[in-house]
Amino acid sequence: MRVLLVDDEEELVSTLGERLVLRDIEAEWFTSGSAALQRVESGCFDLAILDMKMPKIGGLELREELLAKCPDMKFIFLTGYGSEKDFTSAMAHGNSAVYLVKPVDIELLLDKMQTLLNTSRGDV
Amino acid sequence: MVGLVNLKPSFWDKQERVSAPGASEYLFNYRRIWRLSILLTGVVALVPLIFITLVDYNFTEHAMVSEYLLRTSRTVSNTRRAISFFLTERRSALDFIVHDNGSEELSSPDRLSAILENLKRSFGGGFVDLGLVDAAGKQKTYVGPYGLKDKDYSGQPWFEQVIDRSVYTSDVFLGYRNVPHLVIAVKQSLPDGAFDVLRASIAIEPFEDLLSNLELGGLGDAFIINQKGILQTNSHYHGRVLEKIPLPVPEFSDKTQVFEGENPAGEALFIGYRFIEDTPFILMIVKKKSELMKQWYKTRLELIIFLLVSVSFILAVIIGTVTFMVNKVYAADERRLMALHQMEYSNKMASIGRMAASVAHEINNPLAIINEKAGLIKDIFTIKKEYADDPKLHSQLDSILNSVKRAGKITKRLLTFARNLEATIEPVHLGETIDEVLSFLNKEAEYRSLGIQVDVPADIPMIESDRGKLEQIFLNIINNAFAAMCDGGHLSIQVNRADADAVEVRIRDDGCGIAREDLQRIFEPFFSTKTGQGGTGLGLSITYNLTHEIGGQISVASEIGKGTCFTITLPLKTQPKEGADACACYS
């Protein structure tokens, strides 16, 4: 599983990345959307975990640009602003996206990642 | 007293409550408007009415007085003519006799007697006797019933007057016969320069007959006086003949005069009089004004009653209309005021919501970092097995992670609260909503040892309602209950099915309770029993409005010292209000 992490909080994104790596997940992390887009030029990821609010390019906008390059990519959005109930807006994007509020329980995150990837494979 | 209280319009006591000027102030002083409107309308309506009535009253009264005076004047004139004619006739007859008969003839008792008989026959009543008096005043011949021959009249006033004037009519006097009568005397000049006087006595009865036959009305009295005010005839109300009348002698006038005067008892009189020419007599007719005006006074009383009834009716209509209109203005003003407060409250809640969301967001990010850092340490320990067996380290890390979870829950609750301030109709589980509200107050309940019991039966369905408004309603009422309870109090929240389309939530506390007189006003805006303790008097009023906005009802029952129970009835489905979501763009 190749996972792309983008969050403008360096401390958060790097720690979360490391935690995923510790679980043998190929994770790469960036603190801006532009850096992430640059990285995607050289190869797609299965899943992206994006912060909703970032300077310059926000999570939803970044998703559009990433999808343009990697149409199969799945998305998990993180935000410190709102609650799971605001998921309705993310649901507009079908089953390809999940919305989680910080702080996220790692087990819940792994579970959502797994569910998303299984859905893409037609397991659900 | 209770009736008066019920009649008191609702705006009556609303003028003194205003404290600080601003949006929360009533626009008008209703009592003043009410008073002013009644005063102005009353003046405009009643002054012309009263003015016209008074003018008409005076005019009519004046016309009636004039009419009565005119009638009196006419009667005086006619009566004077009759009396004057009576005396003139007799005077002329005597004058004729003096010129037609010589002194010797008149000195003859037979001749004089024949003349008296002829006079009586020709003139009817009046002549009593005849006498011839010589220049020395001695009556040398007399014919009549009193035997007055040789009586000396030289000292009597009429004798002196006739010497001067040749013809004289005397006042009424008693004379030698001691009977009231008057004398008409005519001087007869003799060729030798001497003179005789023919004297005739006239009884007063013919005058009295004439006067008593007058139809005067109004306890009227007709009589004759001389110029000293001595009655020359008997009168009904002013004394007997030769007595002095109790009225002043009128001033001389050669015409008939009428005027308003009064008697010594203070009664108003219409007085008419006329001096009778060539006599010492004044004819007077006196009528009592109160008797004559009796009919007018009756009409006047009816007029006053009619005026009072009209004025009362007009005033009642004015007061009723003004009260109705001012009440309408007051109701509109109160609606405006309530809308302003609702808006103020909504803005405040929106600000609180924005602040809560902002705080939650700001805390969530560092919280997420702590979460990940602690998680990473735990991962390292767990996955790399290096410190896997150190339970103390694990328990410390779990403690950090649990604390983060707890903090996360709080921020999520804040975010949910902020989000719920948007007006949206959604399926709501009442139990969850009540729990959510209580979660804000749990700590306080714990500190104060308040027992909280929530009973939501399993068969209570989800209702379609505005979660945010429900939370505010519950929060306001539970907050009030907390304030009313002493430490260790009990709060019970019971949800029941009210009917097929509604559920009811009973929130009961065992606090201090609400006084009966306050209970009726508890949902009124600005009514507070916590004045001076930070109470705005708006909490329950806003709660009441919020409940109605979501189609519910709220009622309250309370007993001092025992507690209070609020019952909120909620429909299973709330119809969204048109335009209610127009500003629900919060994200």
pLDDT in single tens digits along all 587 residues of chain B = 444 556 778 787 775 444 444 555 666 788 888 999 999 999 999 999 999 989 988 998 899 999 999 999 999 999 999 999 999 999 999 999 999 998 888 999 999 999 999 999 988 778 999 999 999 999 999 999 988 889 998 888 889 889 888 899 999 999 888 899 999 999 998 888 889 999 999 999 988 888 888 888 778 899 999 999 999 999 988 999 999 999 999 999 999 999 999 988 899 999 999 999 989 999 999 999 988 888 888 988 998 999 999 999 999 999 999 999 999 988 888 888 878 877 877 777 777 777 877 787 778 888 888 888 888 888 888 777 667 677 777 787 888 888 888 888 778 777 777 766 667 788 889 998 898 888 878 878 888 888 999 999 988 889 999 888 898 899 889 988 988 898 889 999 999 988 888 999 999 999 888 888 888 778 876 666 665 455 556 678 888 888 988 899 999 999 888 899 999 999 998 776 544 443 332 22
Judged by a CB distance cut-off of 8 A, whether residue B357 touches chain A is: yes
Give chain A positions within 8 Å (CB) of B383.
22-23
Pairing of strands B221-226, B281-288: antiparallel
Please check whether residues B494 and B479 belong to one and the same domain.
Answer: yes
Please check whether residues B431 and B568 belong to one and the same domain.
Answer: yes
Please check whether residues B527 and B465 belong to one and the same domain.
Answer: yes
Give chain A positions within 8 Å (CB) of B364.
80-81, 101-103
In a domain? residue B571: yes
CB contact (8 A) between residue A104 and residue B361: no
In a domain? residue B82: no
Please check whether residues B458 and B472 belong to one and the same domain.
Answer: yes
Domain boundaries, chain A: 2-120
CB contact (8 A) between residue B361 and residue A81: yes
In a domain? residue B53: no
Q: Tell me the longest C-alpha to C-alpha distance in chain A.
A: 36
ipTM confidence score: 0.82
Give chain A positions within 8 Å (CB) of B373.
11, 15
In a domain? residue B371: yes
Q: Considering the entire predicted model, what is its pTM?
A: 0.53
Spell B294-329 as b/e; 16+ CB within 10 A means b: eebeeeeeeeeeebeeebeeeeeebeeebbeebbee
Please check whether residues B409 and B443 belong to one and the same domain.
Answer: no
In a domain? residue B43: no
* Final residue in a domain of this structure, among B384, B402, B422: B422
Give chain B positions within 8 Å (CB) of A11.
369, 372-373
**Most A-contacting residue of B361, B363, B372 (CB-CB within 10 A), to test interface:** B372
In a domain? residue B457: yes
**Most B-contacting residue of A21, A25, A54, A81 (CB-CB within 10 A), to test interface:** A81
Query: Domain count of chain B?
Result: 3
Please check whether residues B331 and B390 belong to one and the same domain.
Answer: yes
Q: Domain span at residue B153?
A: 101-203
- CATH code of the domain covering residue B198: 3.30.450.20
Please check whether residues B442 and B528 belong to one and the same domain.
Answer: yes
- Three-class SS state of A74: strand
Judged by a CB distance cut-off of 8 A, whether residue B432 touches chain A is: no
Give chain B positions within 8 Å (CB) of A23.
379, 383
In a domain? residue B190: yes
Please check whether residues B470 and B405 belong to one and the same domain.
Answer: no
Distance from CA of B419 to the nearest CA of A (A): 8
Residue B151: C-alpha distances to residues A32, B132, B157, B177 (Å): 164, 11, 15, 11
Residue B294: C-alpha distances to residues B12, B61, B264, B311, B445 (Å): 48, 12, 21, 26, 88
Q: Chain B, 374-403: which have a CB under 8 Å from a chain A CB?
A: 375-376, 379-380, 383-384
In a domain? residue B272: no
| Sheet containing B490-499: order of strands | B451-455, B490-499, B502-509, B563-571, B553-559
Distance from CA of B346 to the nearest CA of A (A): 20
Please check whether residues B433 and B572 belong to one and the same domain.
Answer: yes
What are the phi and psi torsion angles at B101 (to 5°)? -120, 140
Give chain B positions within 8 Å (CB) of A76.
none
Distance from CA of B412 to the nearest CA of A (A): 6
* Superfamily grouping for domain A2-120: Response regulator (3.40.50.2300)
